[in-house]
Amino acid sequence: MLWEMLNAARDLGRVQEIASILIRYGFAGFVHELGISRALEKAGRLLHWHPAEQHITLNTPQRVRRVLEELGPAFIKLGQILAIRVDLFPAQYIAEFEKLQDQAPASPIDEILQQLESDLGDSIENLFLEFNKTPLAAASIAQVHRARLLDGEEVIVKIRRPGLRKIIEADLRLLIRMVDIVESEAPELMRYHPREVVRQFTRSLRQELDLAAECRHAERIADNLADNGNIVIPKVYWEWTGERVNVQEYIEGIKGRNITALAKAGLDSQILAERGANAVIKMIMEDGFFHADPHAGNVLYLPDNRLAFLDFGMVGRLTEERREQVVSLLFGMVNHEPHKVCEILEDWSDNIHTNEQALTLDIEFFVDQYSSLSIKDLNLTQMMVDLMTLLRDHQLILPADLALLIKTYITLDGLGRQLTPDFNTLLLIAPHVEKIMTERYTPGAMSRRGWRNVISAVDLLADLPKELRFLLRASRKGGMQVQINVQRLGQYVERTDRAISRLTMGIVTAALIIGTSIVMTIKGGPEILGLPAFGFIGYCFAAISGIGLLISIWRSGKHR
């Protein structure tokens, strides 16, 4: 497995760079545990094992964040995905991950223009009346320039960094291999579900590399909010949009972080907070497709108390079944139904070793704590943080879509409180919950659910004879197989094989010494240094074999 990680020479330098950064920030034990150091030494690469003194004063979450920053765009994006996983990491880690700013120095303008002209099929002068070569913003994936089309319309041109996909794909390969090693060599890290996190991250990052996907997301949300005149979504110019570039309408407005400018512009913070939150809640509760990063940097405030949402690279999706589960969870919390809450949380998690009695008691305490308060006194952010702490205590891990949903709610609540300190997202969510719960038990909805269940039962019964026939046929032909997955068995087999090889070498060395000693007693024949030549050569081979065996044992003990 270790050599599989290093099977491509193109990744070897990157592996060494990653290991060196980890060591510099005091994670040498992690490098040892993953076996990266042994693999690099076998490949002839040396590592410096002394962490930088200036980094020792940082706490662990800070060092993790600095490691991700130094490792580059893919790992910065990974950190941003980890910031979503409030169900996996405690608050101090989430706070550090949220500091990972998606900012980077601008790419050389000549490279940007060359790629842009290649994608658009013409020179910049023939495509735009004006093109500002100084970027409005530069992130790890892309940078944005302001421009004016030939018809005079102002636009922003978002361009992916040249050569980025090759770098990203290399890092993704390494991450997947590192997950394989973590699963076999560091089982204590499995509680963080590394494979699920990397899978979610890979899907999100590859989607973000496609700048046309962002525009598809924007248009879908614009269609869903078409009846809401208070929300503006930038128009997409599809004739100039592709995988590596997109062109969108330029919107002039007050940036979301510039709260002090709202009063001067005659805007009402309370109305802005309610309109923005209602739009996102509608996306979640009714549409099941939502802007998953509604922080202040992705919002503009416009005249007449309107808002514009920007940057649809990160979106969330919720199925109808999932939305109903979320509503049931919120309803159970507010209406003191701990068993309902417990049932939903266990359905969401794949942990089959949960102490159900202890979990029910903790959830009952949690529900008691919040059901006694009126909705206007509830703090959504604090309630979600307490719920995530409870989940971590019982090692219950949320599916990726729900982790993203909860993070979106927390971000939305924070945005509302920036605008007005007494803002309460739950007051706006409550009518949606009541509406969905009411609609769920209408005669029409109940008959539709019942009909779906009948169809499913009929399909199951219809397929049952075929499945039984297949099972019996496989049994008669000896085709039934039972797969037993014994974790970490591979490394034990490898260690046993290594031990047997050493034992064989030791026996051969001992036999060589005994045979050589017998040869030394025979007189006559050629001599070396006054000793029988064959005996002398035999002792030399025995000495080399013994030294090699000792070195192998010493290295094994060193890296254990």
What phi-psi label fits residue 336: left (phi over 0), alpha (psi between -120 and 50 degrees) or beta? left
Within 107-264, strands assigned E span: 128-131, 137-138, 142-149, 154-160, 231-232, 245-249, 254-255
Instruction: Return the pLDDT at 248.
Output: 96
User: Reduced to 3 states, what is the DSSP secondary structure of residue 306?
Assistant: strand
Instruction: Return the pLDDT at 53.
Output: 58
Check: CB of residue 86 under 8 Å from CB of residue 386. Answer: no
Nearest Cα to 200, choosing from 341, 287, 308, 80? 80
Residues 6+ apart with CB under 8 A from 144: 135, 136, 137, 138, 156, 157, 158, 159
CA 438 to chain centroid, in Å, comes to 36
Task: Write out pLDDT tens, residues 234-281.
Answer: 999 999 999 999 999 999 999 988 999 998 999 999 999 999 999 999
Instruction: Return the pLDDT at 115.
Output: 95
- Give mean pLDDT, residues 295-301: 90
Using the structure block, give the residue that is written with the tokens 């102002």: 154
- Alpha carbons within 13 angstroms on the beta-carbon side of residue 202 total 15
CA 319 to chain centroid, in Å, comes to 21
Question: Which of 52-66, 463-477, 479-493 is the least confident region?
Answer: 479-493
Residues 6+ apart with CB under 8 A from 50: 23
Distance, CA of 294 to CA of 437 (rounded, Å): 26
Q: Rounded to two decimals, what is the model's pTM?
A: 0.72
- Give mean pLDDT, residues 374-393: 80
Number of CB atoms found within 10 A of residue 276's CB:
23
Which neighbouring-strand residues pair with 210? none
Instruction: Return the pLDDT at 1.
Output: 43
Angle made by CA atoms 166, 169, 175, in degrees to the nearest 5? 145
Token output for 244: 């590596």
Distance, CA of 294 to CA of 292 (rounded, Å): 6
Q: How confident is the model at residue 54 (pLDDT cuts 50, 70, 90)?
A: low
Distance, CA of 371 to CA of 384 (rounded, Å): 14
Q: How confident is the model at residue 425 (pLDDT cuts 50, 70, 90)?
A: confident
Within 193-305, strands assigned E span: 231-232, 245-249, 254-255, 289-291, 299-302
Distance, CA of 527 to CA of 518 (rounded, Å): 15
Residues 6+ apart with CB under 8 A from 176: 198, 202
CA 125 to chain centroid, in Å, comes to 41
Of 57-71, 168-182, 241-255, which has the strongest mean pLDDT?
A: 241-255
- Give mean pLDDT, residues 20-37: 77
**How far is the CA of 550 from the CAs of 351, 364, 499, 542, 557, in angstroms?**
45, 60, 13, 12, 11
| 494 pLDDT more than 60 | yes
| 335 pLDDT more than 70 | yes
Kindly list the domain boundaries of the chain, sorted by start residue.
2-102+172-193, 318-440, 489-559
Token output for 94: 């989430």
